[in-house]
Amino acid sequence: MFHEIKDVNWLLSKGHFFYSYYYNFGKLTVVRNTPGKAIVRLIEIKDIDEYFEERASGWIEGAFKLFNVKTQIEITKRISKGNEYTEFVINW
């Protein structure tokens, strides 16, 4: 599978696949995927804590490290704080 990885934008476009491989609840969607910036959301999850959201942020950061790309990830909305979805704004 990893022999097909092209760049971080390609990796983000496949994020839903990687998420569903590890988790059987909720969905990961990519709202924006442009060079240098992406917005990713966790949706359709009723109750998660901020530790899970932080782990997801770390997973995204780790995926970028596969390409030696340094990221800044901000969690702008959180299910754990009552929002409908968790949103990650990723800049690189």
Domains of the chain: 2-91 (3.90.1520.10)
pTM score, two decimals?
Answer: 0.89
**pLDDT score, position 78:** 98
Given a contact cutoff of 8 angstroms between Cβ atoms, the answer to whether 61 and 55 are in contact is: no
**pLDDT score, position 37:** 97
Token pair recorded at residue 68: 């030696």
Give the pLDDT means over successive 10-residue stretches in the chain (92 positions): 68 90 94 95 95 96 90 98 98 96
User: Containing H/E element for 54?
Assistant: helix 50-65
Alpha carbon distance 36, 91 (integer Å): 6
